[in-house]
């Protein structure tokens, strides 16, 4: 999940209420009819499965809602450049830049990757504003995304993501020196009870597992390789913040650590990123047509690479040897 998602857990007081009726009472500014279209477009899951608007809620049900624009909203193909890493008759792998939202959602009706895909590929599977889109990245996360070009590929890839058989590897620069060369963060995530726009480690949340390994250690920063075993909203960023090593330039979960950097040149350079230092570097899955496991890789954007170069100089302190 990504920005614009909501999650709810049903208690005894909501048992027997229709799904669409319940959501209309919980989501401000969204009519029941509009939410019904959202449910019908499979953008609402109950216990991880597709449901109907008439579904009667049960105690303990977990609801995930993706607040995407509906097909009746304005959706126009736009000539936005695409960085295509690989393409065949079945799928296309794109390298998403930071700052680009994956598809229209509340507050972002246009200028998204979905608008670009609709322009460059006239016939993609899926509904309305989600042409061929199987998974997402946060707005300010760059890196690899796979897009289905056929109905069969969309179903196949969606199943692989649902079954957690897709290999997803990220690279992040975090504050502080991570002491362990490798480890895992196994902490449940849910909406922050005090701020619904944020995620947080919550005891009653959904299981989330992130593996990490130190790629390079600097004096006051650490470059990490991260593998996602689950795909929760903001998972890496929240997990690393919980570990007390927030992602550099993450204004939402950084806890103000960027402001504690004493060197003014380095602090200014990080502020100039206007994005967090998180990149979806590697993506692997079974090709829907051949069944063969395929893997793709995207190098760090220049802006992030240049920051690493700066850290090797006096501003970042001497780098420590990479972990072998």
Residues with catalytic function: 138
Q: Is residue 234 within 8 Å of 211, Cβ to Cβ?
A: no
Other C-beta atoms closer than 10 Å to the C-beta of 74 total 9
Using alpha carbons, select from 221, 141, 225 the residue that is nearest to residue 183. Answer: 225
The four Cα atoms 201, 203, 209, 213 give a dihedral, to 10 degrees, of 50
Classify residue 73 by burial, with Cβ atoms within 10 Å: 0-12, 13-18, 19+.
Answer: middle
């Amino acid at each position: 999940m990504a920005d614009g998602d909501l999650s709810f857990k049903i208690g005894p007081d909501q048992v027997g209420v229709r799904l669409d009726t319940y959501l209309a009472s919980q989501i401000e500014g969204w009519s029941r009819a509009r939410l019904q279209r959202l449910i019908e477009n499979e953008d609402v899951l109950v216990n991880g499965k597709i449901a109907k608007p008439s579904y009667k809620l049960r105690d303990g049900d977990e609801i995930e809602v993706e607040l995407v624009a509906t097909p009746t909203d304005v959706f126009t193909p736009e000539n936005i450049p695409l960085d295509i890493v690989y393409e065949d008759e079945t799928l296309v792998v794109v390298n998403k830049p930071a700052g680009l939202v994956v598809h229209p959602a509340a507050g972002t009706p246009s200028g998204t990757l979905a608008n670009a895909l609709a322009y460059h590929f006239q016939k993609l599977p899926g509904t309305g504003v989600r042409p061929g889109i199987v998974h997402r990245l946060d707005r300010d996360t760059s890196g690899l995304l796979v897009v289905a070009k056929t109905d069969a590929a969309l179903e196949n890839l969606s199943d692989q993501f649902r079954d957690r058989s897709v290999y997803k590897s990220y690279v992040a620069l975090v504050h502080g020196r991570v002491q362990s060369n490798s480890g895992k963060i196994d902490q449940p995530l849910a909406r922050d009870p005090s701020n619904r726009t944020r995620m947080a480690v919550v005891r009653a949340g959904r299981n989330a597992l992130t593996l990490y390994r130190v790629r390079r250690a600097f004096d006051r920063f650490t470059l990490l390789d991260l593998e996602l075993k689950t795909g929760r909203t903001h998972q890496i960023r929240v997990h690393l913040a919980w570990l007390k090593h927030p992602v550099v330039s993450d204004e939402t979960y950084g806890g103000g650590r960027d402001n504690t950097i004493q060197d003014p040149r380095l602090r200014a350079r990080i502020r100039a990123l206007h994005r967090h230092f998180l990149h979806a570097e590697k993506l692997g899955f079974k090709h829907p047509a051949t069944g063969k496991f395929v893997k793709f890789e995207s190098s760090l954007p220049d802006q992030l690479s240049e920051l690493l170069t700066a850290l090797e100089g006096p501003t970042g302190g001497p780098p420590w040897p990479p972990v072998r």
